[in-house]
Amino acid sequence: MAGCFHIWNQIWIRRKHGEKQMVDLRIEEYNVGDIGTNCYFIVNADTKEMVLIDPGGNGEDLIRRIKERGLNLQAVLLTHGHYDHAHHARMVADAFGVPVYASEKEKVTMHDIQKNVSAMFGNPETYDADVYTKDGEVLNLAGFTIKVISTPGHTEGGCCYYFDGNKVLASGDTLFCGSVGRTDFKGGSMSDLVRSVKEKLFILPNDTAVLPGHEARTTIGYEKQYNMYLA
């Protein structure tokens, strides 16, 4: 299924940590798959190295785009194992010989066609990662320092990726602008999700840019003040 594919927008994030200039980070947002998942290119503007987050569809388009741009893909990061986020992770990773990362606690979702909702989409399949991460683990990829934050709720083992120094959070389907991810799928829990956001994400700086798995970008500060699901 081809789905839709277009560049949604591009933004630059430049931060300073004390007197040290951090790596310039460029975000390219692509709308992929049949229900419009946000897939992100997180690009080191100096080296053109990048990580790819949640390639849930349009794998061939993503591969072509990376090659056309002359980018150097280092890894594919999955926030969780649902079909609309993981469907083309292996395709893209294998095209460039790079690993797929996911939370170790998300194996149960990725390996179950009901929990990963691929059966619901009429394309039952399972997913796997090359590297399974732990809560609090720090990844050094593409020149970025990326902290893995375990955020169960939408799925049993979902996670977010915090680009420390740049103050950018890839939140997957844990936190949206003015909303949160669904918890009515098998393995979901609203109480776990709310706890994850309040205890794990709301401790981040208010000006942290939040890149959700669907819909518009937001910030931690905005969600603290206006998200009615987290009042």
For position 91, which CATH number holds? 3.60.15.10
Helix or strand holding residue 196 (H, E): helix 190-196
User: Rounded to the nearest 5°, which phi and psi values hold at 176?
Assistant: -115, 170
Distances (CA, A) of 84 to 1, 10, 87, 97: 11, 22, 6, 22
Partner residues linked to 6 by β-bridges: 31
**What is the average per-residue pLDDT within 1-12?**
50
**What is the average per-residue pLDDT within 217-224?**
97
User: Rounded to the nearest 5°, which phi and psi values hold at 175?
Assistant: -130, 125
pLDDT at 21: 53
Q: Determine, yes or no, domain membership for 1.
A: no
Question: Mind listing the pLDDT tens digit for each residue in 16-73?
Answer: 555 445 688 999 999 999 899 999 999 999 999 999 999 999 999 999 999 999 999 9
pLDDT at 3: 45
How many contiguous H segments (helices) and E segments (strands) does the chain have? 6, 17
Q: Determine, yes or no, domain membership for 84.
A: yes
Is residue 15's pLDDT more than 80? no
pLDDT, averaged across the chain: 92
Which string of b and e fits 2-21 if b means at least 16 CB within 10 Å?
ebebeeeeeeebebeeeeee
Helix axes 89-96, 59-68, angle to 10 degrees: 30
Q: CA–CA separation, 81 vs 56, rounded Å?
A: 10
Give residue 124's domain range.
6-16+23-230
Q: Within a 13 Å sphere around the CA of 176, how many CA atoms are in the beta-carbon half?
A: 15
Question: Mind listing the pLDDT tens digit for each residue in 103-147?
Answer: 999 999 999 999 999 999 999 999 999 999 999 999 999 999 999
Q: Determine, yes or no, domain membership for 31.
A: yes
Question: Mind listing the pLDDT tens digit for each residue in 175-216?
Answer: 999 999 999 999 999 999 999 999 999 999 999 999 999 999
Q: Quote the Cα angle for 42-78-203, to 5°.
A: 75
pLDDT at 75: 98
Q: How many domains does the chain have?
A: 1
Q: Within a 13 Å sphere around the CA of 154, how many CA atoms are in the beta-carbon half?
A: 25
Q: Determine, yes or no, domain membership for 200.
A: yes
How many residues are recorded in the chain? 231
Q: Determine, yes or no, domain membership for 106.
A: yes
Is residue 8's pLDDT more than 70? no
Q: CA–CA separation, 62 vs 43, rounded Å?
A: 14
pLDDT at 153: 98
